[in-house]
Amino acid sequence: MSKKETRLVYSTEIGRVEEEPEEVILEGDGKALVQKSTKGRGGKVVTTISGLHLDKSQMAKLCKTLKKRCGTGGSVKDGIIEIQGEWIELLKAELRKNGHVVKGK
């Protein structure tokens, strides 16, 4: 059995059991990679930003800022920020303005 299948929630001896926080693994080299993607989206264009060393709350805050700047929707999935539409140059400039290192020109 895996760890998730045998999770102890409550014990009559010690009461409610607190879960241990999962270790956050940051992927990438700390440099933002901004690219256009249409794969698996029915031909619709999405600009993706990957490679940032940010935790979930920082990633969500950055995503919100970028969505406001572009005036469009987006989300964070598996550590990758997805912004609807093709906004490569605008997002690169905005990331540099916020102090992030961006790959490419």
Span 53-69, average pLDDT: 93
**Could you read off the pLDDT of 6-48 as tens digits, one per residue?**
665 655 666 666 666 665 555 667 799 999 999 888 889 999 9
**CATH class for the region spanning 25-102:** alpha beta
pTM of the model: 0.72
**Could you read off the pLDDT of 74-87 as tens digits, one per residue?**
999 988 999 999 99
Crossing angle between the packed helical segments 56-70 and 88-97, to the nearest 10 degrees? 130
What is the reported pLDDT for 21?
Answer: 63
Report whether pLDDT(54) > 70.
yes
Distance CA 89, CA 16 (A): 50
Q: For the chain, which residues make up each domain, given as ranges?
A: 25-102
Distance CA 80, CA 61 (A): 13
What is the reported pLDDT for 46?
Answer: 96
- AA identity, residue 90: L
